[in-house]
Amino acid sequence: MGWEALEHWGDGVARLEPLTGGVGINQVWSVRVNGHLAVGRLGARSDADLRWETELLRHLDRKGLTVPVPIPTRAGRLFAQGLVVMTYVEGGPPETEADWHRVADTLRQLHQLTQGWPQRPGWRSSTDLLHAETGTKVDLAAMPAEGVARCRAAWARLAGRQTCVVHGDPNPGNIRMTADRVALIDWDESHVDVPDLDLVLPHNAAGLHDSAYDIAAQASAAWAAAVCWDDEYAVKRLAEVRAV
């Protein structure tokens, strides 16, 4: 597996320069396909996982959300040998409170468009982890028992909520804005979960009332701790989760 897989997209495809993001998980480069700038992402995700992600992105594009759209190979496949090639999305990060309100609106559109969507293969939702120990990058057995208890107490407050696809990491680096639209990029952490996990935004842009914001913030911090345990960031996020 490697960048030689680009040959599936035709002759004259060129890899240009590395892009930020996906450090240690994926290699992400700008590429040129059929004369157009695009993005190539090479990683070790399974075919089932890539099929879930690419089908999701095509669905969202058809419904009018601005996302990186998978570019098919010459054979019509949306990925090959761990490589996905997607359209390049222009724009900059949100900077103002008004920008973040637009981001919140876009996230809510995502959530509305994906109610009933099947879970990403191998993943668990936060409420699944009330009983399960593992799911993709989550291994609760690796965390301190007291930390697991705190995380589960935070997730238990979400039990019974309707689920949908969450982006999973709507930080400024994963948002590309222009005057007329908001785009979400880097869908590596997307999965089916409770939408509140996406809505802990600067300026409380999603307009959650006090109790709802507290529930979302605690559940989100617990998720961030569990999904990347035990680096410095995960330890910091776990410290935000209140003791039981």
Q: 228 CB contacts (<8 Å, ≥6 apart)?
A: 137, 234
- Give CA separation, 51 vs 36, 57, 153, in Å: 24, 10, 33
Q: 18 CB contacts (<8 Å, ≥6 apart)?
A: 27, 28, 29
Q: What is the DSSP string of 185-213?
A: ---TT-EEE-GGGG---GGGTT---HHHH
Distance of CA 73 to the CA centre of its chain: 24
CATH entry, 3-87, from 3.40.630.30, 3.30.200.20, 3.40.50.620, 3.90.600.10: 3.30.200.20
Q: What pLDDT is recorded for position 235?
A: 96
Q: What pLDDT is recorded for position 25?
A: 75
Q: What pLDDT is recorded for position 182?
A: 98
Q: What pLDDT is recorded for position 119?
A: 98
Task: List, for residues 69-105, the tens digit of each pLDDT value.
Answer: 999 999 999 999 999 999 999 999 999 999 999 999 9
Give the chain's mean pLDDT: 95
Instruction: List the chain residues with pLDDT less than 50.
Output: 22-23
How many Å apart are CA 206 and CA 181, to the nearest integer?
Answer: 17
Phi, psi of 111 (to 5 degrees): -65, -40
Q: 76 CB contacts (<8 Å, ≥6 apart)?
A: none
Q: 5 CB contacts (<8 Å, ≥6 apart)?
A: 42, 80, 81, 82, 83
Q: What pLDDT is recorded for position 195?
A: 98
CATH entry, 97-239, from 3.30.1360.200, 3.90.1200.10, 3.40.50.970, 3.40.50.2000: 3.90.1200.10
How many Å apart are CA 22 and CA 34, to the nearest integer?
Answer: 25
How many Å apart are CA 58 and CA 113, to the nearest integer?
Answer: 12
Q: 82 CB contacts (<8 Å, ≥6 apart)?
A: 1, 5, 42, 43, 44, 45, 50
Q: What pLDDT is recorded for position 23?
A: 46
Q: Do domains 3-87 and 97-239 have the same CATH topology?
A: no
Beta pairing, strands 138-139 & 134-135? antiparallel
Q: What pLDDT is recorded for position 244?
A: 77
Per-domain boundaries in the chain: 3-87, 97-239
Q: What pLDDT is recorded for position 22?
A: 46
Q: What pLDDT is recorded for position 61?
A: 98
Entry pTM: 0.94
**Helix axis angle, 145-156 to 232-239, nearest 10°:** 60
